[in-house]
Amino acid sequence: MIAFKNSFRELLRYPSAIVGLLVIFILLGVAVYALVTIPYSEAIRLWRGGEDVWYQNPKYASPEWFNFFTSKKEPLSFLANTADGSMTKTVTSSTADISTVEMTYSFDYTYDDYPQEIILYFSPKFNEKLPFVSIAWYTPDGRKIRIADIAVDRKSSYRFSQDQKLQKSLRNEDVMQALFVDPHAENPTVVKGQYKLVISGTTFEKDSDLDVQFVFHGKVYGLAGTDKYRRDILLPLLYGTPIALAFGLLAALGTSVLTMIIAAIGTWYAGWVDELIQRITEINLVLPFLAILIMVGTFYSRSIWLMLGVTILLSIFSGQIKTYRAIFLQSKEASYIEAARAYGASDRRIIFSYLIPRMIPLLIPALVSSIPSFVFLEASLAVLGLGDPVLPTWGKVIDDAITDGAIYRGLYYWPLEPAALLMLTGLGFAMLGFALDRVFNPRLRDI
Amino acid sequence: MVTDTRSKVVKGEAEGARKVLLSIDDLHVWFELRRFGFGHAGYVKAVDGVTFDVHSGETIAVVGESGCGKSSLMKTILGLYKPTRGKVIFDGKNLSELDSAGMHWYHTRVGYVQQDPYGALPPFMTIERILEEPLIVGGVKKKEEREQRVRRAMEEVKLSPVADFLPKFPHMLSGGQQQRVVIARSMIMEPKFLVADEPVSMLDASVRVEILKLLRGLQESHHLSVIYITHDLSTVSYFSERIFVMYAGNLVEKAKVRQVLDNPLHPYTMALLTGTSEPDAKNAETFKEIPPGEPPSLVNPPSGCRFHPRCSKMIKGLCEIEEPPDFEPEPGHLVACWLYK
C-alpha cells in the first residue's frame, strides 16, 4: 500500500502522466455519465428505433458549434407543437359541427442559409369527415406564400420540399430556397427577420380536433451532428465510451493477466507443461488473428462480447508469454524462492505470491499501454463490417460514415468525431503508460 | 583398518547418550546431463557417497571449496533435491518415504539460513509479511498468534524496536539486519535443526562476528542441531563441534574442530588450512604452498582417491586405483586417505 502510494506520487511528477490521467478520467466520467443518464434500452431505442424516433432530426447535419467558426451561420433545428402549447392554436366554432382551428407559429430567423426541410405532422381527431387545412407562409419582407390546401388524414404529414405543386407554383425546385430567399434581390440572400406559419384548419364534426407538430430541420444539430438516418451522433459517441473502455480494459486485463499466469505456471513446473505452453504459443503466433476474428464475425456472431472472448483467447498465447517466461526463468532461481520451498510453500503459493508479484511492475505499464490497441481493434472490426449490430459504438459510426461516403461529401465531422475520441483514448493511455514505465522500470533493473 | 563411521563417532562422544537427530546414509545426489534436451550425457555427481550423523544439539561445520557439492548436500537435507541413492533420516523418518503431510511436518522442523541475505528476502514483501509467510504456510491460522510469534522472533535476533522494522522492505535494511531477518525467518517455526549455508560470507567483516554469536546463542538457547556450511575455516571455530571436510562430492575428513585445526590428517585439509589467512604480519613474507590444479570435474571425477591428481603425498599404484575408505588414526578422527591405512 505504501509502495503503491509512493509510486503514485512519483507518477504525478511526470506531466505526461497528469495529462494521461486527466484524459482517462474525462473518458471515465463520460462513460459513467452515459451509463447513468441513458439506460441501455433507451440507447438501443435511440440507435435502432427507426424513422419514428429520428424524424425530428435533420439529415447529415453538422454539429451546432460549427457556427462559432464559420461566417455563414447555418440554421439550427427546432420544433413546435400545438399539443404542448409551444405553437398557438385558437379554435372558433362557427356552427354546431364546423369549427375553425387557427394555428400560427412565428419565429425569428437570423441565419445565413435556408433550412433543410420543414415538415408538418398532423394528428387530427375525427370520425368520418377529414379536417381541411390551408397553409400559408409569411416572410419578413411582407410576402405571403400559399403553401398548400390539403385534407388531413390520420397520421398524415406534409413535407414542404416534396410537394411538386408547390415547386411549380414557386417556380423553383428548391422550395426552401424559395421560401427564405428574396427572389427579387440581385444577390439572392436569405431574408432575416420574423417568419410566420399560419395553418388555418376547418373541422367538420362536433368532436373533431386538430393538432400539428411543426418540425424545422436546420442544417446543424446538437453537439455532434446527425448521420444519414437522422440519428444524433452524440449518442454513439457517449454510449460508445463505456463500451470502448470496457472492451479495451477487459481485453488488456484478460490477456496480460492470463498470459502472465500461464507463463508463470509453465516456467515453474517446467518439463512437459512448459513444452506444451511453448508449442501452443508458437502455433498461435502464426495463426492469423484478424482473419479468425473475421471468420467468427461472418459465420457465427458479431456480438462485441463474443469478439472480446475470441480476442482474449487468441491473445493469451502471444509472444508476450516468451518475454514473461524469460523473466520468470530468472526469478525462479532467486534464493527467496528456495527459502520458500524450504519452509514448505506450495507450488500454487510460490507462483501467485512469489513469482507473479515480482512481475507486477512490468505488468502495469504494459497493461495500460495495451488498452488503446484493443479499443482500436474494436473500431477496426466495426470498420471491417464486423461491428456489433446492436450496440452504438465509435467504430460503428466510422463504418456508417465510410459506407455512406461521408468523406467525399465533405461531411468530415461524421467519421472524424469518433476517430478523434479513439485518438484521445490512445493518447491518454499511451501517455500514462509511458510515465508508468518510467516509474516502474528503474526497479526492474535490479531484478 | 576400516571402521563403521556411525558407531565410532557416537562412542567417541563424551555424552554418548545424545540422540541422533539426522542421519545421512550413503547419500548420492546426481544430476543428469542431457544432450540437445533429451539424449543422456552422463551425470554430475554432486554428492557421491556421503555418510554421517548429526546429534541433537550438535553443531557441525561442512567445509570445502566452491563446487565440491556442499550446497547440493545441504539442499538434499532440506528436501529441495531428491537423493539419487541413499537415505536422509530425520528423527527416525526417511525423507524419501514421507508423504506431503510428512514433508510439511519436516519443513517446520528444519530452518534454513541462506548465504545472500538480500536475495533471500523477497523484495516486494515487508519484513512483517516475510516473517509471517512460514507461519501461514505452516498452518498458524490465528492472526494474533502470528503477530506475536513474529515479534518474539524479531526480539530474539535483536531487531528492535520491532515496530520500526515491521513495515520496512528488505532493501531499507543493512546487510547485517537483513541476515538477522533471514535468521528470524528460519527460527520462526521453532525448528530442531538449522542448515546455515555460509551465513556470513556475504557480510562485512565487522558484522560477521555478531551474526555468528547470534547463531551460537540461538543454538544454545534452543538446543539446536546446526549444519554450518562454509568455505572459510577461520569462522569454523566459533561454534562448531565437529568439522567435515568435503572434496569433490565426498567427505574426506570428519573430526572434532580442535583435532582438525591442530592436527589435520588429510592432505586436502592441510592445504585448506594453509590457505586460511590469519591477520599476521609474518604472512606477508612467507610463501604458502597450495595444491596445484583445479577442483576436479564432478561429471568425470578422478578414479580412486579424488584428490590424487593434486596430492603431493600420492602413493603410486594405490591412490589412483582404489577409493580410500574411512580410517581412524586417532579416536573420533576419521579420514579417507590411504596414508593412514
> Which residue of chain B comes nearest to A335, CA vs CA?
B120
**A338: contact with B, CB 8 A cutoff:** yes
CA distance A337 to chain B (A): 8
A7: chain B residues, CB-CB within 8 Å: none
Decide if pLDDT at B14 tops 60. Answer: no
Distance CA B11, CA B51 (A): 16
Local mean pLDDT, 10-residue blocks, chain A (447 residues): 73 88 94 92 86 83 87 86 84 82 88 87 85 89 86 84 84 83 79 88 84 87 87 90 93 92 93 93 92 89 89 90 91 90 90 89 86 91 86 90 88 91 93 85 49
Residue B216 vs residues A446, B110, B192, B219: alpha-carbon distances, Å: 33, 17, 14, 5
Q: How many CA atoms lie within 13 A of A108 on its CB side?
A: 1
Q: Report ipTM for this prediction.
A: 0.84
- Contact between A335 and B124 using a beta-carbon 8 Å cutoff: no
Best probe of the A interface among B112, B115, B121, B124, by most A CBs < 10 A, is B124
Distance CA A255, CA A249 (A): 10
- Contact between A336 and B122 using a beta-carbon 8 Å cutoff: yes
> What is the DSSP code (8-state) at residue B93?
E
> Which residue of chain A comes nearest to B38, CA vs CA?
A271
Q: Residue B268's pLDDT is what?
A: 87
Domains, chain A, ordered by start: 2-47+232-444 (1.10.3720), 72-217 (2.60.120)
Percentage of chain B surpassing pLDDT 90?
16
Average pLDDT estimate for B192-200 = 89
Q: Residue B12's pLDDT is what?
A: 42
SS3 content of chain B, % helix, strand, coil (to 5): 35, 25, 40
Distance CA A439, CA A413 (A): 38
pLDDT in tens, B112-143: 998 888 889 998 888 999 999 999 988 888 99
**A342: contact with B, CB 8 A cutoff:** yes
Best probe of the B interface among A279, A343, A447, by most B CBs < 10 A, is A343
Amino acid A214 reads: F
* DSSP calls for B10-55: HHHSTTTTPPEEEEEEEEEEEEEEEETTTEEEEEEEEEEEEEEEEE
User: A356-381 and A289-299 are packed helices; what angle lies between their axes, rounded to 10 degrees?
Assistant: 50
> Which residue of chain B comes nearest to A444, CA vs CA?
B123
Decide if pLDDT at B13 tops 50. Answer: no
pLDDT in tens, B289-301: 677 777 788 888 8
Residue B179 vs residues B106, B118, B186, B218, B226: alpha-carbon distances, Å: 23, 8, 11, 14, 17
Q: Residue A444's pLDDT is what?
A: 44
Determine the longest span between alpha carbons in chain B, in angstroms. Answer: 68
A271: chain B residues, CB-CB within 8 Å: none
Q: Residue B288's pLDDT is what?
A: 67
Report the relative pairing of strands B93-94 and B327-330 from DSSP bridges. Answer: unpaired
Strand A209-217: give its sheet, edge to edge: A78-81, A209-217, A117-125, A156-159
B189: chain A residues, CB-CB within 8 Å: 343
Decide if pLDDT at B9 tops 50. Answer: no
Q: Residue B183's pLDDT is what?
A: 93
- Contact between B122 and A2 using a beta-carbon 8 Å cutoff: no
- Contact between B80 and A345 using a beta-carbon 8 Å cutoff: no
- Contact between A343 and B80 using a beta-carbon 8 Å cutoff: no
Q: Residue A155's pLDDT is what?
A: 79
**A339: contact with B, CB 8 A cutoff:** yes
Phi, then psi, of A280 in degrees rounded to 5: -60, -45
- Contact between A342 and B103 using a beta-carbon 8 Å cutoff: no
Q: What's this model's pTM, rounded to 2 decimal places?
A: 0.81
Coil, strand, or helix at residue A233?
coil
Average pLDDT estimate for B275-282 = 69
**Are residues A356 and A348 in contact, defined by beta-carbon separation less than 8 angstroms?**
no
